[in-house]
Amino acid sequence: MSGAVAIIEEHETVDAFHRGAFYLVQPKGRGHRTGMDAMLLASMVTGNGAIRVADLGAGAGGAGLAVAARLHEARVSLFERSPDMAGFARKTLALAENARIAGRVALFEADVTLRGAARNAAGLVDDSFDHVIMNPPFNDALDRATPDPLKRDAHAIAGDLFEDWIRTAGAILKPSGTLSLIARPHSIADIIAACGKRFGGLEMTPVHARAGENAFRILVSAVKGSRARLQLRSPLVMHATSGHAFAADVDDLNNGRAAYSRM
């Protein structure tokens, strides 16, 4: 998943994902670096044909590109507020190695918490997407403050973060469109509250590093306008009891060989 291919500037790396199906230009040693979280999030998108997918808070574009790499007709819009991170996404889309997918990926420098006309003007158009994905920044007041301003921006302090982001997801999804997100388990309350009456049919999947350990992430999907009840799915366990290798099912999700479909 990592493994630098070429250093294009001294403070940047180019990393292979999906076993070389696409590459990301990323900041080196600062900012939020793409990894397993983005790949698991991307695995939650399913659908045939030219579905429209929005990646909110796309960063360097990892999750959005992973969707475009696996679903060969999907059209992906990346939304990123930070000009710095959007710059990495722009370089990523310009890489020759990504030519096969870049034509189906559009980048918008936009704050996903915008509302109303300003939101629509920024490319976050009402009722226009089939699937919205998000890996909202974390780190809150209980976490250790980080001296890295780029990382601090990505891992924002924000009590109403899920409300702001999920409100936008609810606005830009088509009726019965799907929201998928990855977050930390202690955000369950905020996520459910923000889904409120906008979304139903929540499916939550705990992600554990190893059997017997507490979950360190949750995958959540929800359907706009649904009234179906929350389901708590069987967990994903990343590693077998010993060793650092990924379990086969998780490795497939991480490398774009399988999708994590709704029930």
Q: Taking the CA of residue 224 as centre, how many other CA atoms within 13 Å lie in the half-sphere pointing to its CB?
A: 21
Out of 215, 247, 258, 259, name the contact with a second copy by CB under 8 A. 215
Strand 22-27 relative to strand 12-17: parallel, antiparallel, unpaired? antiparallel
Residue with tokens 């929005």: 54
Rule CB under 8 A: is residue 125 a binding residue for a second copy? Answer: no
Out of 48, 214, 241, 242, name the contact with a second copy by CB under 8 A. 214
Closest to 150 in 3D by CA, of 198, 243, 91, 84: 84
Out of 90, 233, 239, 257, name the contact with a second copy by CB under 8 A. 233
Nearer to a second copy, 5 or 228 (CB): 228
Residues 191-210 that bind a second copy (CB under 8 A): 192-193, 204, 206, 208
Rule CB under 8 A: is residue 189 a binding residue for a second copy? Answer: yes
Taking the complex as a whole, the smallest distance from the CB of residue 263 to a second copy amounts, in Å, to 7
Nearer to a second copy, 6 or 211 (CB): 211
Out of 50, 230, 245, 248, name the contact with a second copy by CB under 8 A. 230
Out of 83, 116, 212, 243, name the contact with a second copy by CB under 8 A. 212
Where on the chain is the footprint of a second copy (CB under 8 A)? 142, 185-186, 188-189, 192-193, 204, 206, 208, 211-215, 218, 229-235, 263
